[in-house]
Structure 1
C-alpha cells in the first residue's frame, strides 16, 4: 500500500486581496464593505497520462460588510472547485466581532460552512477496490474560526477550518454490503500578514506572506502539527497613486507569480487584477503555467444619511 498527498482546497495567487476567503475574522474589519470575485485556471492545459483534462479550475466570490449594530461585521463566500472527477461547492457564512486596539482593529471570527462534494467516474487500478467512488455526491456542515488584526500599516490573520473533519460517503464501484467510498476533509490553517511601506508620497510597497498548513488526524495525534504538511507563499507588490499595482511572488515547491492591476471608477472603488504563475517545480506532473483574474468592488464607508445641523449664535434669540 502506498501513500499520496494532494491539494485539497483551492489556492489563489491574489491571496493579498482576498482575506475573506482565508479568514472569517476579516468580515468588515476594514470598516467598509467589499465584494471580490476570482477565477483561476491552474496548470492550464494539463492532461493526465491516461485521461484527458484534470487541471483544477476555481470560481469564487466573497463579500463582507461592517455592521456596527452587531459590534462587528458579516461575510459570505461561495466557491466552485473542480479537479478532474472531483467537484466541490462550498458556501460560507461568517461573523466577526471587532475590538479596537490602539489605532487598529482586531476581529474574532466564527464561520459556518456547507460543503457539497461530487465524485464522478474513476478508473480503478484494482477492480475489487471498494473505496473507488462511482458518481455520487454528499453534503456536510462544518465550522471554522479565526483572528484578524487590521492596522494603519500592518495586517495579520490566523484561521483554521474544517474543525469537524467531516467525512463524505459515496457509492462504490464495487457493490458491497454496508461499505462505501469515503473522503475526509482535513483541518486546514492559514497564517497571513502584510505591511505597507511608504517609499514615496505616491508609491507604497507591500511585502506579503501566506503559510498554508494541512493538519491531518485528530487533535492530540503525535504528528498533527508536522511541518512536512506545510507550504508557504511570499511576495511583494508596489502600488502607484493608490491606483496601479504590480508585484512578484513565490509559491514553495510550485511556481513564481507575476501580478498587476488597476483601480478605477469613483474613489477607485473598482479594481481589476491579473496573475500569471510560471510553474518551476514538479513539471512532470503539472502544466507550465496557471492564470487568475480578479474583479473587486469597495463599497463606500458608512456615513450620516443627513447633514448635521449647523448651530450659530446669530439665530439664538
Structure 2
C-alpha cells in the first residue's frame, strides 16, 4: 500500500510539474546562436527526434518524415545559398519482449558549406507509474560532418576546413512520461562531445570542430474544451550545455532557444496551431488525419521570421507526413466460449 501511495503521489507531482515547466520556459530568455542541432516547428509530433525515451511510449508503431526549409531563399555570404535544409526520417515501435520500445532517427542537415548526416538508434525501458508510462531511454549516435570550400581571410589558414569530412560515434539519454492528459520529456545528446578534425587547403587535418551536447525539455497538456475539441498548450526549450570546450560566452541563454505554442484538434482529425519562438519568429500550423483510425497525418508549418532579420530570411517552411500502426493487442487471445461444450 505504501508503494501504491508513493506512485500516486509521483503521478500528481508530475502533473503539477508540467505546468511549472511551462512557466519556467516562458520566463526564460534567449535566441539560437551556437546551436548545432536542427529545429522543427512540428516538435509536438516529433518526440522520437527529441528524446530516446519516447520510443514505443505511445503503445503503437509510428513512422514520421519532415522536410524543412529554414530561412527560405536566404543568400547571405554563401556562394551556393545559405538557407538551412533538413530532411528527417524517424520510426519507433513498442517491443513487449523488451519491456519497452525501440526507435531510429536519420536526418541530413545542410547550411551553406556545412552538412551533418546523423543516424541514431534508441531503446526505451517503460515503467507503469500512475495513469501513464515512464520511459528511460539510451541512444547510440553516428555523426558525419562535412565541410566545403571557405574563403579564408588569410591564405593557408590552418584553422579553415577545406573539402573534407569526419565521423564520430556518440551517445544520448533521456526520460519521458506519457499520460492520457499530458506528456513531459528531458533528454541530452552528444554526451561524448567529440572533436571533429578536418583537412585544410594545405592537406593538414588541423581544422577542428566540437560537437556540443544539447538538452531538450518539452511538455504538453491536453485540455478537453468540448466533446470534439482538444486544445494542447506546448513548450520546448533547446539548450547548449556548459563544459570545458569552446568560448566562455558560448554557454549563455543567448545560445538557447525557447518556444511556446498551442494546437487545437477537432474530432481527432483536423488541427491548427500557433506558436512563438523567442527572439525569432511566429509560427502557424495546419494539418489533418485521414484513412482508417486516422492513421495517416499530414501537416504544414509556416514560420514568419519577425526579429533579427539581418542574418535571416523572411520565412521558414516545413512539411510533415506520418503513419501510425494499429495499437498492439493483448499478448494472448481470450478464450472463446460456446454452448456446445457447456454441460
TM range (shorter): over 0.9
Answering whether residue 36 of structure 2 is matched by residue 8 of structure 1, we say yes
Distance 2:100 2:249 in 1: 36
Answering whether residue 147 of structure 2 is matched by residue 116 of structure 1, we say no
Answering whether residue 211 of structure 2 is matched by residue 185 of structure 1, we say yes
- Residue equivalent to 1:51: 79
Cα deviation, 1:191-210, whole Å, max 9, x if unaligned, reads 00000000000000000000
Distance 2:179 2:250 in 1: 32
Cα shift at 1:129 = 1.9
Aligned 8 A contact 2:33 2:255 in 1: no
Answering whether residue 336 of structure 2 is matched by residue 315 of structure 1, we say no
One of 82, 92, 95 as aligned partner of 1:64 = 92
Taking a change above 3 Å as real, the CA distance of residues 313 and 49 of structure 1, as seen in their structure-2 partners, is: closer
Cα shift at 1:29 = 0.6
- Residue equivalent to 2:131: 103
Aligned 8 A contact 1:127 1:174 in 2: no
Write out aligned runs for 1:1-317 (5 A): 5-49=33-77, 51-175=79-203, 180-218=206-244, 226-304=252-330, 308-312=334-338, 315-317=341-343
Cα shift at 1:304 = 5.0
Cα shift at 1:186 = 0.5
Q: What's the secondary structure of 1:242's corresponding residue? A: coil
Aligned 8 A contact 1:121 1:135 in 2: yes
Higher relative contact order at CA 8 Å, sep ≥6: structure 1 or structure 2?
2
Cα shift at 1:5 = 4.3
Cα shift at 1:218 = 3.4
Cα shift at 1:105 = 0.3
Q: What's the secondary structure of 1:297's corresponding residue? A: strand
- My pick for the range that moved more, 125-134 or 292-301, is 125-134
Cα deviation, 1:235-288, whole Å, max 9, x if unaligned, reads 001000000000000011111000010000000000000000000111111110
Distance 1:74 1:49 in 2: 41
Q: What's the secondary structure of 1:164's corresponding residue? A: coil
Aligned 8 A contact 2:162 2:201 in 1: yes
Distance 2:324 2:199 in 1: 44
Unpaired segments ≥5 residues, structure 1:
none
Distance 2:33 2:248 in 1: 19
Cα shift at 1:225 = 6.4
Structure in which a larger fraction of residues adopt helix = 2
Distance 2:121 2:203 in 1: 38
TM-score for both structures, normalised by structure 2: 0.86
Aligned 8 A contact 2:35 2:240 in 1: no
Q: What's the secondary structure of 1:124's corresponding residue? A: coil
Q: What's the secondary structure of 2:48's corresponding residue? A: helix
Q: RMSD of aligned C-alpha atoms? A: 2.0
TM-score for both structures, normalised by structure 1: 0.93
Taking a change above 3 Å as real, the CA distance of residues 306 and 148 of structure 1, as seen in their structure-2 partners, is: closer
Distance 1:261 1:85 in 2: 33
Aligned 8 A contact 1:256 1:278 in 2: yes
